[in-house]
Amino acid sequence: MRSRALEALVEDDEVGDLGDIEQRLGVGAAADLADAQQLGAPRPEPMALRLDDSHGTVVAQTQPAPLVNRLDDRLVHGIRSLAQVAIDSPGPHPTMSVQLDHTIVFARDRTAAAALIAAILDVPWAESRIGPFTAVYVNDGLTFDVDQLEGDVPVQHFCFRVDDAAFDGIVARLAARDIAVRSTPHGPVDGKVNTAHGGRIVYWSEPDGHVWEALTVSYARR
């Protein structure tokens, strides 16, 4: 509900359009601004509030004529801070509906590559599916279509976000197959797990020299 004090402010043409104030500050903050205005006292050099169009913040502006019942400096500062918090705080985002359905993984031997990927991740795979691909079912919504190439295989990067138990399982299955691991994408094979980003990360290069990665916390989403 709109504050009567806020409506009175707009009627007196003191702070601009009511809808504009509510849109920039939110209805609650705009009402607080109007209620706070009623607490002000006459000043020798009165201050009025206006909305800065380029930044969306409330600023103080000296008026040439005496005005009554304006905000004092403390209230001006408080409203400016309140407006900036409203601007800096991200609003709600709509649910993201785009999902990756499948992607191609290049390999020298599609059957061997698919079998190894599935074994490391502990997921199912099928030797033949649609077209010339061997399918690895990474999860209920994502399929790796492994495609066989003759000659050089371009390096690709694949990262899997998993929970701690699944991460431990991946590391154990890599070790059981003597697949070397490292803590950086292209760094030396140091056999270490990276813990620098709030979770655990490990990299490996089999099959086919790709940059494979597993992590427990997504640094890309921060």
Instruction: Please check the confidence at residue 33 and state whether its pLDDT lies above 90.
Output: no
Contact between residue 125 and residue 135 where contact means Cβ atoms under 8 Å apart = yes
29 & 71 share domain:
yes
pLDDT in tens, 77-134: 444 444 454 455 556 667 888 999 999 999 999 999 999 999 999 999 998 767 899 9
121 in any annotated domain: yes
How does residue 221 score in pLDDT terms, banded at 50, 70 and 90? confident
201 vs 72: CA distance, rounded Å: 54
Residue range(s) defining the domain that contains residue 39: 4-88
Tell which of 66, 88, 110 closes a domain: 88
Predicted pLDDT of residue 88: 57
Higher model confidence: residue 58 or residue 205? 205
Can you give the length of the chain in residues? 222
How does residue 40 score in pLDDT terms, banded at 50, 70 and 90? very low
Instruction: Please check the confidence at residue 12 and state whether its pLDDT lies above 70.
Output: no
Predicted pLDDT of residue 213: 98
Query: Which amino acid would we find at residue 99?
Result: Q
94 in any annotated domain: no
Predicted pLDDT of residue 130: 77
65 in any annotated domain: yes
131 & 197 share domain:
no
Query: In the structure encoding, which two tokens stand for residue 23, read together?
Result: 């849109």
How does residue 41 score in pLDDT terms, banded at 50, 70 and 90? very low
**Mean per-residue pLDDT, 202-212:** 98
Tell which of 88, 111, 128 closes a domain: 88
Instruction: Please check the confidence at residue 58 and state whether its pLDDT lies above 50.
Output: no
pLDDT in tens, 138-187: 999 999 999 999 999 999 999 999 999 999 999 999 999 999 999 999 99
Q: Coil, strand, or helix at residue 93?
A: coil
For residue 159, give the CATH number of its domain. 3.10.180.10
- β-strand pairing of 157-161 with 181-182: unpaired
Number of domains in the chain: 3
- Whether this prediction's pTM lies above 0.75 is answered by no
181, HSE (Cβ side, Cα atoms, 13 Å): 22
42 in any annotated domain: yes
157 vs 115: CA distance, rounded Å: 18
Question: DSSP characters for 191-219?
Answer: ---B-TTSS-EEEE-TTTT-EEEEESS-G
93 in any annotated domain: no
User: Could you identify the residue written with the tokens 């009567």?
Assistant: 4
Query: In the structure encoding, which two tokens stand for residue 73, read together?
Result: 């400096």
Query: Which amino acid would we find at residue 71?
Result: L
Which runs of consecutive H residues, i.e. helices, occur in 109-163?
Answer: 110-121
CA 125, 129, 133, 137 torsion-angle sign: negative
Query: Which amino acid would we find at residue 66?
Result: P
